[in-house]
Amino acid sequence: MESYALEMIDIVKNFPGVKALDNVTLKVKKGEVHAIIGENGAGKSTLMKVLNGVYQADSGSIRIEGQEVKIGNINTAKSLGISFVFQEINLVPTLSVVENFYLGELLKNKFHMIDWHTMTRNVKEALEKINFTLDPKRRVLELTVAEKQMIEIARAVSRNAKIIVMDEPTSSLSENEVEKLFAIIRTLREQGITIIYISHKLDEIFEICDAATVIRDGKTIETRRVKDYTEDLMIEQMVGRSVTMEFPQRTSKPGEVIFSAADICRKNKIYHVDLELRRGEVLGLAGLVGAGRTELCETIIGAEKMEAGEIRIFGKKTKISNTRQAKHNSIGMVTEERKETGLALDFSVKQNIVITNLPKVAWKGIWLNAGKEDRAAGEYIEELNIKTPGMNQKTMFLSGGNQQKVVIAKWLFSDVDILILDEPTRGIDVGAKFEIYQLINKLAEQGKAILMISSEMNEIIGMSDRIIVMHNGHKKGELEKDMISAENVMRLAVDTEEE
């Protein structure tokens, strides 16, 4: 008989107008690393919120080690040995590691004084259990993302967690940091702790996971041992169709230069960078973390001060001191952090789409015309295949892929000719990625000039007509289509000569 750490049987969860979970079943064996995979909006997050007590299921049952339980809130989940390590780290940056570890439950000695000695010792021991060393007295704001994650994991282990859920744990980690995390996951598995691993990165699932459950449209599709999956089969189950190519073919050919930057400098960030961008082209901007890609684009659009250099748009020398001037000169930027800087999450889909060009939907430039707003939003919802119950739905309730489409839609509504895309598919599932790729190609074929930053090697190679590679704020080289390869990109990305 199978020994399960967790069984979620026939879980149903309804929201107004939406059946988020439709008899979902998840069975996770004790001491295994079990992946939950599916497109954004498939129901993964909702299922985990039911497990964590944030939502209450309308029907179904949950069993922990064979015993049926009721999880009414987060504290109940913790008491049952269920811990979460979220993509957004839940630590207070101004406090020390020890203070965060014992937040709200400080230990006291026999004199009723705070027992810093015991707490510090306990934190060190908890970190040692996962083979990680860190000074417990350091403030969290001094730590890297990877170090913060280790604190979250150690805290879960110290509280005798039986099940640890990791939600997109590697989204902000370097390759070296990912390897350290995987080593810790293997240590936890050896200690008999069960890991539920949620990620859009299929290569990670094949490397670290023992089993995987695919969820699509709020339903369980299948659970298999990972060794019995192929990547193609996994993708097909996630999206409900066969995906035969990772990157769609683009038929457009680059045209005339419509944007150029010469000798761009930004204090302590960017040093004498040149680039040209052609109509109908996707120009990739590659480099390792900290190479200066985002900083260059922020300088181009006027979000940060350009110390020296020259920008020409359609051949005309142009001064851009702020993002308003960038938009006036037909430049838009889809930022990496769409939730923080790309969207007004509490606004509707319609409001987010039209917000960058309100005069276009106003009567005589004075009063907003509801009919024009509806027509404009409806056109982009249809053209970009934005999946939403309606244009008046708050954007916060859309999946990551659909939120990204809304950000792109608002810039298209602004009639920009030059579009900067910073990590356009980060945190987006395979099916939605393919749709974003198709959309990028469509924009290029319409004559838009695309400057795309991506940290995913396959993506930057598969989507770019040319690639500029940066290192430490310097442009290290430019690769034409016939010279683009992973080896050539990496050779330039790690090159430190003549800086």
Give me Rg for the CA atoms of the chain: 25
Long-range contacts of residues 337-342, Cβ cutoff 8 Å, at least 24 apart: 338/400, 338/403, 338/404, 338/407, 339/403, 342/403, 342/407
Residues β-bridged to residue 313: 259, 316
The answer to whether the Cα torsion of 300, 303, 304, 310 is positive or negative is positive
pLDDT, tens digit only, all 499 positions of the chain: 568 999 999 999 988 767 889 999 999 999 999 999 987 678 888 999 999 999 999 999 999 999 999 999 999 999 999 998 876 667 888 999 999 888 878 888 888 888 999 999 999 988 888 888 889 999 998 888 788 888 888 888 888 899 999 988 887 677 778 888 899 899 999 999 999 999 878 888 999 999 999 998 899 999 999 999 988 888 788 877 655 557 888 887 899 999 999 999 999 889 999 999 999 999 999 987 778 999 999 999 999 999 999 999 999 999 999 988 998 899 999 888 777 777 888 899 999 998 877 778 777 666 788 888 889 889 889 888 888 889 999 998 888 778 888 988 888 888 889 999 998 887 777 777 888 898 899 889 999 999 999 988 888 999 999 999 998 899 999 999 999 988 888 888 876 555 5
Joined tokens for residue 301: 């659009």
| Burial of 316: CB neighbours in 10 Å, binned 0-12, 13-18, 19+ | exposed
Please answer whether residues 283 and 228 qualify as being in contact, where contact means their C-beta atoms are separated by less than 8 angstroms: no
Alpha carbons 485 and 462: distance in angstroms, whole number: 10
3-class DSSP state for residue 365? coil
pTM of the shown model: 0.60
Tokens of 287: 């480099």
Q: Is-contact 162 81, C-beta < 8 A?
A: yes
Q: What is the pLDDT of residue 60?
A: 95
> In this predicted structure, what is the pLDDT of residue 364?
67
CA 231 to chain centre: 20
Q: How far apart are CA 450 and CA 280, in angstroms?
A: 8
Nearest 10 degrees: Cα torsion 436, 400, 39, 408: -20
* Cα–Cα distance measured from residue 306 to residue 270, given in angstroms and rounded to the nearest whole number: 9
For residues 380 and 175, what is the distance between their CA atoms, to the nearest angstrom?
37
- Token pair 């769609």 in the structure block, residue: 248
What domains does the chain contain, in order, with CATH numbers? 4-239 (3.40.50.300), 257-493 (3.40.50.300)
Q: How far apart are CA 115 and CA 103, in angstroms?
A: 13
Q: Which two tokens stand for residue 372?
A: 């024009």
Task: Give the H or E element holding residue 398.
Answer: none
| DSSP string for 124-162 | HHHHHHTT----TTSBGGGS-HHHHHHHHHHHHHHTT-S
CA distances from 291 to 159, 285, 299 (A): 39, 10, 14
Do you know the residue count of the chain? Answer: 499
Residue 328 and residue 320 in contact, taking contact as beta carbons nearer than 8 Å: no
**DSSP character for 242?**
-
Read out DSSP for 66-127? TEEE---SHHHHHHTTEEEE-SS----TTSBHHHHHTTT---B-TTSSB-HHHHHHHHHHHH
Strand partners, 195: 33, 164
pLDDT at position 242, please?
56
- Whether 69 contacts 80, CB under 8 Å: yes
Determine the Cα–Cα distance for residues 119 and 159; give it in Å rounded to an integer.
13
Q: How far apart are CA 441 and CA 264, in angstroms?
A: 28
